[in-house]
């Protein structure tokens, strides 16, 4: 067994306090993620049930268990042990799904790597995690090949798809391996993955989660919010290496339901896949739902009768999208707040009233939240404050002791997000604490301005940042992507500004508006808007 250096892990005196307030969240000490998600369902007689639908493939629980064990044996032959790190890079498909569980079968930590990352970002993650091996699809290998001499610890690369010279070929690698293997001795406090933050606020940070963190998330979210059933088929486009997409790997484990995978997003393809695989619970980011709504007569063109529930995450879901989706397709999109650090902690529900759909909902069962001022004192209801959470999970950073100490206050995990709580207990996102705009002494939450802007019929997408101003210090500036049929003009600028003044306090309206195309919006690899890049651009112009 490999030993992770103590200074790579969160300092013991800065760990979050984990609470287990519900019976289903009180897990046994000995806990195996592969047993929870795969093995126990075979023991329950579900071996012949389909676990994965992918294109024309249908892979059962028993077949997947065999694939996992064969790959785990092959990795073991390379010397991969408990606590070793293995980088994974591929679009969503059965092979990379197998790779996650093969790592966990050995107690190794998958390092989640977006398949669109370029060579310098691959190098950064490989060296920061000190990965021992890498499993990669041949169609995403090119960027890996450009940094082979820069990765300091990666000794073996396994490629699937097409053969690549100098790498282990996946099919040969697993061909003669036994289909049985003894499970690793793991418990709920063992770390079991490294995921990197999306970089919306700067250099990505390594985040570690324990086995217990993810299983308690399933027990809370799948049971009480998604209300997953045995006959559900979960599907969606988010990549496994994205915290939201990671749910597609493990949520089947809650009750033994099935998973539908796609390796790319296209709105028509997503509808086709819902119809073909009979998806009942669909995961998509807000932009994807908006693109799907643009497909004319989709509700008539496709058989979507299997679909009962949708979930959005990654960024705030505009209420008008949720309402339009329900009008056309007959079910609500739940808007869920989460992150790589803290999994899920807020969500709307199926009974959320229409006038609350623009909110972020209420805390998940088993999660406690507080809103605090900069001195970490609780703020009154209807006041803005940074959200702190306490749950069976919390902030845990890899090789970032100072960040760890900053991220936990008296056992509570900081989110860095500003919210308001209304009189009915719903929480309304106002922006990140580092996106608070101070203009002429007024504190203006960027998220609140964005929410007002999105209600204007011309606005498809918007990002609000601070822009330097010689008189006010900074002013509110909105970058706006217009919907088809609208053209940028001075008259539209004034119309939007007047519209916002009617929605929120006058001093918060965007004094500057710049219309841009969707291609000009700077985004992270997971599609989130890089607002700090827009803010930095404004500073550079000044």
Residues 6+ apart with CB under 8 A from 517: 481
- For residue 326, the model assigns a pLDDT of 95
Would you say residue 104 has pLDDT above 80? yes
d(CA 160, CA 135): 8
- For residue 200, the model assigns a pLDDT of 52
User: Can you tell me which residue has the tokens 């307030």?
Assistant: 21
- Average confidence (pLDDT) over 477-484: 96
The residue that leads in pLDDT, 282 or 321, is 282
For Cα atoms 267, 268, 269, give the angle at the middle one, nearest 5 degrees: 90
Write down the mean pLDDT value for the chain: 94
**Is the four-CA dihedral 502, 505, 507, 509 of positive or negative sign?**
negative
- Average confidence (pLDDT) over 234-238: 96
What pTM was computed for the model?
A: 0.86
Give the pLDDT band of residue 199 (cuts 50, 70, 90).
Answer: low
Would you say residue 518 has pLDDT above 80? yes
Would you say residue 202 has pLDDT above 80? no
Bridge-based pairing of strands 191-196 and 206-210 is: antiparallel
Give the pLDDT band of residue 528 (cuts 50, 70, 90).
Answer: confident
d(CA 142, CA 123): 13
What proportion of the chain, given as a percentage, has pLDDT over 70?
A: 99
d(CA 213, CA 441): 41
Integer angstrom CA distances of residue 522 from 122, 241, 312: 20, 20, 21
Pick from 8-12, 385-389, 485-489, 537-541: least confident: 537-541
What tens digit of pLDDT does each residue of 326-385 get? Answer: 999 999 999 999 999 999 999 999 999 999 998 999 999 999 999 999 999 999 999 989
Give the pLDDT band of residue 457 (cuts 50, 70, 90).
Answer: very high
Would you say residue 509 has pLDDT above 60? yes
- For residue 201, the model assigns a pLDDT of 54
Q: Classify domain 440-541 by CATH number.
A: 3.30.300.30
Pick from 142-156, 164-178, 493-507: least confident: 493-507
Q: Helix 286-293 vs helix 267-277: angle between axes, to the nearest 10 degrees?
A: 90
As given in the structure block, the two tokens for residue 531 are: 């607002």
Distance of CA 139 to the CA centre of its chain: 23
């Amino acid at each position: 067994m490999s030993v992770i250096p103590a200074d790579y892990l969160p300092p013991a005196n800065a760990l979050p306090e984990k609470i287990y307030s519900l019976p289903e969240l009180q897990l046994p000490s000995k806990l195996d993620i592969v047993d929870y998600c795969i093995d126990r369902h075979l023991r329950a007689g579900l071996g012949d049930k389909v676990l994965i639908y992918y294109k024309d493939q249908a892979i059962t629980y028993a077949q997947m268990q065999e694939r996992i064990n064969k790959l785990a044996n092959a990795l073991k032959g390379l010397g991969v042990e408990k606590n070793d790190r293995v980088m994974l890079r591929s679009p969503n498909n059965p092979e990379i799904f197998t790779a996650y569980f093969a790592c966990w079968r050995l107690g190794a930590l998958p390092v989640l790597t977006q398949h669109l990352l370029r060579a310098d970002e691959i190098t950064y993650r490989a060296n920061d995690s000190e990965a021992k091996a890498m499993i990669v699809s041949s169609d995403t290998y090119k960027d890996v090949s450009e940094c082979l001499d820069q990765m300091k610890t990666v000794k073996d690369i396994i490629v699937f798809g097409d053969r690549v010279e100098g790498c282990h070929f996946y099919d040969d690698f697993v061909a003669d391996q036994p289909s049985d293997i003894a499970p690793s001795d793991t418990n709920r406090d063992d770390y079991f993955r490294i995921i990197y933050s999306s970089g919306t606020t700067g250099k990505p940070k390594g985040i570690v989660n324990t086995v217990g963190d993810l299983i308690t998330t399933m027990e809370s979210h799948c049971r009480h919010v998604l209300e997953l059933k045995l006959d559900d088929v979960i599907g969606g486009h988010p990549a496994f290496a994205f915290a939201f997409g990671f749910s597609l790997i493990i949520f089947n484990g809650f009750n033994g339901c099935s998973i539908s995978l796609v390796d790319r997003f296209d709105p028509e393809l997503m509808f086709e896949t819902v119809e073909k695989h009979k998806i009942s619970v669909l995961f998509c980011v807000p932009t994807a739902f908006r693109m799907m709504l643009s497909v004319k007569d989709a509700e008539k063109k496709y058989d979507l009768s299997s679909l009962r529930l949708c979930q959005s995450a990654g960024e705030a879901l505009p209420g008008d999208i949720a309402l339009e989706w329900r009008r056309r397709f007959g079910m609500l999109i739940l808007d869920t707040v989460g992150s790589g650090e803290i999994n899920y902690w807020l969500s709307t529900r199926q009974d959320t009233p229409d006038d609350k759909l623009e909110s972020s909902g209420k805390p998940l069962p088993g999660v406690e939240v507080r809103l605090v001022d900069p001195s970490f004192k609780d703020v009154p209801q209807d006041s803005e404050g940074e959200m702190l959470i306490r749950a069976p999970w919390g902030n845990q950073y890899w090789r970032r002791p100072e960040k760890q100490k900053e991220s936990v206050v008296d056992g509570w995990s900081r989110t860095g997000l500003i919210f308001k709580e209304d009189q009915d207990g719903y929480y309304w996102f106002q922006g990140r604490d580092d996106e608070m705009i101070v203009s002429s002494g007024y504190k203006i939450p960027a998220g609140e301005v964005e929410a007002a802007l999105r209600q204007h019929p011309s606005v498809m997408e918007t990002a609000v940042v601070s822009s330097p101003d010689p008189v006010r210090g900074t002013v509110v500036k909105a970058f706006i992507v217009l919907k088809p049929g609208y053209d940028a003009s001075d008259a539209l600028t004034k119309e939007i500004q007047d519209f916002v003044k009617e929605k929120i306090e006058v001093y918060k309206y965007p004094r500057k508006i710049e219309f841009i195309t969707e291609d000009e919006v700077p985004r992270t690899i997971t599609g989130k808007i890089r607002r700090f890049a827009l803010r930095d651009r404004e500073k550079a112009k000044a």
